[in-house]
Structure 1
Amino acid sequence: MLGNMDLRLLKFESYEDYLKSLIKTEDYRYLSTMQPIKKLVTLGYRCSAKVYEENEFHKLRKQLHEQINPKVSSILYGNFFKGTDAGLKALVDREEANLLQKLSTIIFLQVRQRSGFDLSGYIDYEKSLRDCTLKAPDRTNWKAVFEGRARLRPKPNDLSFYDWHRSVLCYNDTYNFEIVRSSDTLMFKHKADHKRIPVCDSPNPYSENVTRVMIPSEIYGYIILYDHIIR
């Protein structure tokens, strides 16, 4: 997980730059050449934090880049889908385009709990996929969802969440969307192209920014997808 990794290393393009960042001005004053200064730094005499060997530095930087920019081919959870549910199949079809930031899909889902009460919410699909890959807290296990071992369900950290039993309502901005306060309808704004995305089935001045598709689902009853092509 990113939280346990040394993010400082992303600032340095080379091991040389990394070592130079640990050198203090007084080191140049007392040691005339760079080689002994680097030796002192490498041994940890000039820094209280851990000093990485060159092979460690390159290995950790590579791991950080893989976490931040995971390869799409390695995280296509839809590859595990072997079922027939039309709603899940629609999500499989949109997965790669969302990860490549060509398409941004918002999922509306309303699910019934064992208590008989519903949970509903709007889910930022790309964020949810990314959180799964980065093992973020309270993430959706998309591999299990597509395999049929787990159910997709709205969460309090999604774009919007409503617990019908407890009357708990949550709104959250994400990497991709921010909430637009409107008295008429719930609306989101895409952070990359600043287009407004209305999530309603009635005519709206911004309706051209999104395609709304309602898909019958054997598992979920129906899933509504709001597809926005990123410009």
Structure 2
Amino acid sequence: MVKVEIKKPYDSSITLTDGYAIIERFGMDSVIEYGPEKRQDISLDKIKSVSYKDADETDGYLKIISTDNQSVSVPFSDQSLNDDMNNISTILKKSIKPEPVETDSNNNESSEKVFCYKCGKKIDKNVVFCPYCGTEQNHPSSNKSPSITNNDNSIDDQEKINPNSSAWIALVAVGWVVFAVSIIPAFSWLQFVSFILGIVIQNAFPSHKGAGMAIWIASAAIFGISFMFGFLTAL
């Protein structure tokens, strides 16, 4: 038998014994928060999921959901209970039975289920594209294990064939040319153009926003200097 008694935020306890998780609550505050059901017995054979969080600056909790959709939450504030509550969480998680493998009625063969790495929906292991979000699934071959290197190479290849990958370079070049011309007094109005180009580059290409910021900051600085010089000259 494993039992943990909790005093804060509510007077309660959780006990693991004889194949059951028994949650008991005491006091008016607990009844107001969780209802009049002061004791809940959940069979370890019927546990569907267990979630756990240590107590820190905020309350910790242990949440249990059974296969019949019974939900039990056990909050605790005392950080000294972290180890005991984590131990109970580990025991409960070990009692969770894996879901049965579904059978494909067309060929009577077992169809193993996996989760889409992007949307998280349960899909057949052998599908190429997720039927929910359309994302291609990267299934490892029998003689090659998946690796981060393979994913990085795929990303690099996509960047190489991306037609917009060099567009920011052209815009930055135009921005600096316009900025250089705007220094000439007769073309000072181009300072506004280079300023706007810098803002556009910063917003359109977040990974190269520094280049855009450099242009509009330089344009703003030159405009400020020109304005102050004109103001002092007028005096």
TM-score interval for Structure 1 and Structure 2 normalised by the shorter chain: under 0.3
TM-score (norm 2): 0.23
Higher helix share: 2
TM-score (norm 1): 0.23
**Relative contact order higher in (CA < 8 Å, ≥ 6 apart):** 1
Q: Which has the larger radius of gyration?
A: 2
